[in-house]
Structure 1
Amino acid sequence: MGDRDAGFSRRTYLGMVGAASGATLLAEPTLATDEYSEVVDIVEAGADNTGNEPIDEVFQEHAEDDTLIEFPDGTYVVNQLIVYQLSNFAMVGKGDATLVPGDNYEEEQWIAGAETRDLTVRNFTLDTTEDGVSPEIDISAYDGLEFRDIVKRGYQDNGGVAIGLRIIDKDGSGLIQNVRAPDGGESVGLYIESDGPMTVRNCQFEEFCDNGVYASASAAPIRVEGGFFRNNNISQVRLGSPDSVVRDAEMVVDKSVTADDNPVNMRGVRVADGPGPVYVENCDISMTGGQGNGGIVNAFSGGSMVVRDTRINVGEEYTTVGSDGSRTSFGIFVDDATEADPGSRTLENVSITGGGTYRAAILLRRGDNTMDGLCIDQSGEGRNGIILENSSNNTLTDSVIDVSDEEIVLRDSSVRRAGVETSGSCPEPGERLSTSPGEGSGLPGEVGSVAHEQTADGDWHGVGFERTHEAPVVVSKPLSYADETPCHVRLKNVTDDGFDLQHEEWLYLDGDHRPETSHFLTLAAGGHTVDGRPVEAGRVRTDNRFTGFSFDTGFEDRPVVFAQSQTYEGPNPVVTRLRNVTADGAEAMVQEEEGEERGGAHRTETVGYVAVPTGTGTVDGQPFEVGVTSAHEEWRRIDFEQDYEDPKFVAGIQTFHGPNTANLRYRDLSASGVEVHVEEEQSQDEETLHRYERVGYAVFEGA
């Protein structure tokens, strides 16, 4: 496992593992203290931060609802911390805060909680480097679980679960972000058995003997976004529930682990234990050592699977189980469905490179396989392209299969093929295929405009995209000013093909609004490069309280962020507000009108955001610009730096200087500029004065 220096600080250790994984690491996060009735400095409350005395009693004394417990720099001895049935509770490290098991620690429930709601654990180093010390974390919540910015140091000696997290309400959700466990263990790295959706973002798990991320037992979708996973036995990432996805992740298997309780069978992604469909998108998978069944395995207990825009490298020394190292394994292996509905598979724009001895790049033991845009380049003795066994209803189109033996082997199988070539080169892991023209200069989305008259408050207007966008984020604001009645754009049903829109007036108004125009920007979720600059689109779940989110993209300076609710979970009108926008992330909330009788409480919505640096450029040969100005209730002129024949204008407030409910409106849009102002609603009073806010905007050529 290598030497472990007990003198590492959390920042030093994060920097090292970040450099190893190539992941973007974030500055130390902050939490909005005004969200909690009590804020407790645990040292001031009497806890020892020198690593000598357990802090359990002090912690339990202050672990209450609506409480934030802050841990200053130091080392804290913990035997057991319980957060049972707490609501709106957070424990957050401030600086380098390290938790270390005490002499009498509870192994199976070191940090544990159940039936919680809105629980945050954030910014700690977990020091389990002492031999034989293997504490487990076990937390479940109804909703609002955040476990993030955590480094686990030390090998997990037991065969249980290092970190176990769960949402127990199907309408709840959870976030696991920037969790690093590079030292591995005999156990599962991260275990998720969740009834509500959870996101695993930018995490690192290495050398665990029983799966790196084991989430296939969940009932709800699990999203693995980014991250680095290396040399975990069984799988790097294991999924099975409907609409689960692993996207933008890097997986490496280059040596075997020693697994006392599990046979060695090391895969990249394993689709198992559920009906799917499971999506594998834009991943880099390198399998060059050890033994296992494949880079992506559709197991006997797994259902449907979709693999897109993914690169797999299989080296000669990554061999099949039971071959004693004499047979190179598969890039993709689909097993017989003995414990699941066979489902279907889509393989689209998948590259498999490398090579070895015998077997094949792909082995399919089920039917209903649609393969398009495959690129297989496998060298070595007896290496085949695709083997199909007892498989029917298959298609293979527009693909390259360059192998040393047979391109396609049919064993009681059939496949319809068209446009299949037998020579070519294929992208390796790390060589991302550009989906936009001009070496990444194009827009991985589209812009447009919508003119709509809201004749009743319950009417929705469908907007279709010109082309399909995968898991898109839509921003459509501000609204024009043909009708002076306060109004804004509300979205719902955002899909790959379009979205629904209404011009939403506030509750104290009649909902009937004259025709207005808004422009929209649509981007596929994830990181992109547009004209040489980074752009990121993503989502965050939030309600009427600010929720922080972090960028996966490394912005040099603070970007402009456009954010808007994508859902209609709560029927009361809302606008989306931001604050604390930095190069590392921001905070978002949805805001109801001030006069709403319940005090503005709103159900959790999914807010989409697009973050882009300021500046001018061209996209697909057309000009665009992103800028910042300031505005308040009076109209403010923005002069564009370039001229536009058909300008598409989006803008949003970046700050929360004025807490009154407000959004932007625009008027007099022309080739050279536009006017904007901050519009307050008047449900509580008629006064509409508003403090200056920072406003970000973008202009695209629509002609």
Structure 2
Amino acid sequence: MQRSNRKDSLRTRFARWDDGHESSDSRTRRTFLRGVAATGATGIGLTSTAGAASEPYSQYEGDYRNVVDVVDAGADNTGEESITPVLEDLRADNTLLVFPEGRYYMDEQFRFTGFDNFGVVGDDATLVPANYHDFAGPQYRLFRLGVSYSPGSHLRFEGFDVDQRAPDTGIRVIEANAADRLEVRDVTVYGEHDSGTWGPGLFNVTDPDGWGIVERFRAPHGGAWVNNTPHAGNRWRGPIGIEANQNAGTLEFRRCWLGGFPNNGLYAAGGGGTIIVHGGLYRNSNGANVRVGGQGSKIRWPTVEVDETRPEDKTQRGIRIENGKNVKIHGAAVEITSPKPTSHAISVMNSCESARIENTRVELRGSDVNHGLVLSPDCGETVIASTEISHDTAGGYPLWIRDSDRTEPVLVEHLSISGAAGDGGGFRDGIRCERDNCRFSHVDVSQPGRDGVDRNAIVNTGSDLTVYRSDLRASQYPFVDLGADTLVRDSVLESSGDNEAACLYASAEDPTFKKNKLVDGIRNLGANGVTTWENNHA
């Protein structure tokens, strides 16, 4: 009965956290994140087993030759004795190990590789790791199922709570490499990962034709920096929340939740396979909260929040995409209210060959300088569509397209930028466009400036920029041109600071303005080849 009460307490606390964020600004956050799919806190509700056991777990009948109740086989479910020796005796191919209700103490790793079909499932089961000092052998993992050079073929692991609330009990729950099929579901880690060893989960599909899903893997309390743990000096930074950097197949992370980890939250940027992130909540990790690469990878409907910064945290980016091609971000909600100077909301890195960001909302607030969407100099073709950025910081660029020698186009359409930011660090433009061959269509930029500072809507230093059917308003200049061959047409440009609609510097060459509303006209500081046609200056 006491174990049951303890489990109920754990689940009650998690359910409160899962249902909503119990903080003073929870209503604001929920409003910002409206429409984002919520992650359920319920377990898988296993009720049956197959095979030689009994009626329970019948849903697995036919999937395994052997279905074994680990308690019937001698495993202690009171949390007093280590179960690893029993698991070692039960290890066999084409086998499902079933954990009935109870607490299962583990003080050494269980390892099984090269299998064809193996599963581990829990029914109201809690794993209890030994502390760092008492853990035998490698102090890194509870379950190591498949390795890169000898993966399993089919693997199932689901239905466990992991109680890491006692000091120094943080450990990797599962490390899994499967060639054909990987299924991990409903694993919840309670307590901070505080031992400094590898983070809660590592997953890879090793065959290009294989697939996997990691669903509702949750570690909401994050991990400690390594120098604050008994593993100090042995690692850089500390644990990663979920790692998948050798994936070759298709691997989906569905409705996973991670708290703040010191070395990235979800880190799935290596390997040549496809990563899918669907939903979930990722909060306060250092490095990046969601870091993804791969071919045709997709990040769909995640919620990313940064509202806490520890003294050791240096960067807390929202989403970072890299090492891939045709990477898509769709329906993301990114909110950063505790920014660091390089904590961009979304970063498209140099190694990203092509990307699309659409139907995404970004909100940045705070007293520090911070940027929104940042396209690195060597990234490839990028499309930003139907996206909103609210930017209320001490300074920074809501959209920064950095200087590049690459010629692939950047297309921005149906983008809305709002908020009153400052000019800290000299970053005072709504859109900073430093790259050639960019197209802005149906862009709405409002930059009123914080506390009377001068902000510009768009500043262009590149060549061959087109601005079409856009609404640009700013406290200083709606449009500033220092580049070449710019075309602005069918747009509205208006300054709230008694300035002209556009400012053309001497370096600007051959700018063209057609059929615009240019309130108070154009300020020309020596630009060459200026063309105007049918503009309204009223």
- TM normalised by structure 2 equals 0.71
Q: Are 2:430 and 1:377 equivalent residues in the alignment?
A: no
Q: Are 2:388 and 1:351 equivalent residues in the alignment?
A: yes
Distance 1:257 1:218 in 2: 31
Q: Are 2:59 and 1:65 equivalent residues in the alignment?
A: no
Residue 306 of structure 1 aligns with which residue?
356
- Structure 2's unaligned 5+ residue stretches are 22-37, 47-56, 224-237, 449-454, 475-538
Against the structure 1 CA distance between its residues 419 and 133, is the aligned structure 2 distance closer, same or farther, given a 3 Å change threshold? same
What SS class does the counterpart of residue 59 from structure 1 fall into? Answer: helix
Which of 221, 230, 244 is 1:192 aligned to?
Answer: 244
* CA offsets 1:548-606 (integer angstroms, 9 cap, x no match): xxxxxxxxxxxxxxxxxxxxxxxxxxxxxxxxxxxxxxxxxxxxxxxxxxxxxxxxxxx
User: Alpha-carbon deviation of 1:218?
Assistant: 2.4
* CA offsets 1:511-562 (integer angstroms, 9 cap, x no match): xxxxxxxxxxxxxxxxxxxxxxxxxxxxxxxxxxxxxxxxxxxxxxxxxxxx
Residue 286 of structure 2 aligns with which residue?
233
Distance 1:220 1:313 in 2: 31
What SS class does the counterpart of residue 276 from structure 2 fall into? Answer: strand
Residue 76 of structure 1 aligns with which residue?
104
- Contact 2:390–2:418 at 8 Å: present in 1 too? yes
User: Mean alpha-carbon deviation: is it higher for 71-80 or for 97-106?
Assistant: 97-106
Distance 1:124 1:151 in 2: 7
User: Mean alpha-carbon deviation: is it higher for 58-67 or for 401-410?
Assistant: 58-67
Q: Are 2:303 and 1:250 equivalent residues in the alignment?
A: yes
Q: Are 2:194 and 1:149 equivalent residues in the alignment?
A: no
User: Alpha-carbon deviation of 1:13?
Assistant: 4.7
What SS class does the counterpart of residue 267 from structure 1 fall into? Answer: strand
Which of 138, 149, 171 is 2:175 aligned to?
Answer: 138
Which of 97, 119, 139 is 1:107 aligned to?
Answer: 139
User: Alpha-carbon deviation of 1:8?
Assistant: 5.2
Against the structure 1 CA distance between its residues 164 and 311, is the aligned structure 2 distance closer, same or farther, given a 3 Å change threshold? same
Distance 1:82 1:303 in 2: 38
**Superposition pairs for residues 150-189 of structure 1, below 5 Å?**
150-157=187-194, 158=196, 160-185=198-223, 186-189=238-241
User: Alpha-carbon deviation of 1:144?
Assistant: 1.1
Q: Are 2:95 and 1:95 equivalent residues in the alignment?
A: no
For 2:444, the aligned partner's letter is V
- Contact 2:68–2:98 at 8 Å: present in 1 too? yes
Against the structure 1 CA distance between its residues 245 and 401, is the aligned structure 2 distance closer, same or farther, given a 3 Å change threshold? same
User: Mean alpha-carbon deviation: is it higher for 357-366 or for 219-228?
Assistant: 357-366
User: Alpha-carbon deviation of 1:161?
Assistant: 3.1
- Contact 1:207–1:257 at 8 Å: present in 2 too? no
Distance 1:100 1:119 in 2: 22
Q: Are 2:152 and 1:124 equivalent residues in the alignment?
A: no
Distance 2:167 2:42 in 1: 30
- Contact 2:81–2:105 at 8 Å: present in 1 too? yes
Distance 1:414 1:289 in 2: 37
Distance 2:145 2:97 in 1: 16
Distance 1:344 1:296 in 2: 16
Distance 1:16 1:28 in 2: 18
Which of 39, 45, 48 is 1:23 aligned to?
Answer: 39
- Contact 1:99–1:124 at 8 Å: present in 2 too? no
For 1:126, the aligned partner's letter is V
What SS class does the counterpart of residue 110 from structure 1 fall into? Answer: strand
- Contact 1:293–1:333 at 8 Å: present in 2 too? no
- Contact 1:9–1:96 at 8 Å: present in 2 too? no
For 1:190, the aligned partner's letter is I
Which of 425, 429, 443 is 1:399 aligned to?
Answer: 443
User: Alpha-carbon deviation of 1:253?
Assistant: 0.7
Distance 1:315 1:215 in 2: 28
Distance 1:10 1:61 in 2: 31
For 1:192, the aligned partner's letter is A
User: Alpha-carbon deviation of 1:215?
Assistant: 0.2
Q: Are 2:469 and 1:419 equivalent residues in the alignment?
A: yes
Distance 2:10 2:217 in 1: 12
Against the structure 1 CA distance between its residues 256 and 219, is the aligned structure 2 distance closer, same or farther, given a 3 Å change threshold? same
Residue 270 of structure 2 aligns with which residue?
217
Residue 324 of structure 2 aligns with which residue?
275
- Contact 1:11–1:96 at 8 Å: present in 2 too? no
Distance 1:183 1:227 in 2: 15
Q: How many residues align?
A: 402
More helix by share: 2
- Contact 2:396–2:421 at 8 Å: present in 1 too? no
- Contact 1:101–1:127 at 8 Å: present in 2 too? no
User: Alpha-carbon deviation of 1:16?
Assistant: 3.1
Against the structure 1 CA distance between its residues 242 and 420, is the aligned structure 2 distance closer, same or farther, given a 3 Å change threshold? same
Against the structure 1 CA distance between its residues 13 and 316, is the aligned structure 2 distance closer, same or farther, given a 3 Å change threshold? closer
Against the structure 1 CA distance between its residues 122 and 7, is the aligned structure 2 distance closer, same or farther, given a 3 Å change threshold? closer
User: Alpha-carbon deviation of 1:330?
Assistant: 1.1
- TM normalised by structure 1 equals 0.55
- Contact 2:140–2:197 at 8 Å: present in 1 too? no
- Contact 1:159–1:188 at 8 Å: present in 2 too? no
For 1:314, the aligned partner's letter is L
- Contact 1:10–1:96 at 8 Å: present in 2 too? no
- Contact 2:44–2:159 at 8 Å: present in 1 too? yes
Distance 1:378 1:197 in 2: 39
Against the structure 1 CA distance between its residues 177 and 117, is the aligned structure 2 distance closer, same or farther, given a 3 Å change threshold? same
What SS class does the counterpart of residue 144 from structure 1 fall into? Answer: strand
Identity of aligned residues (%): 25
Residue 60 of structure 2 aligns with which residue?
33
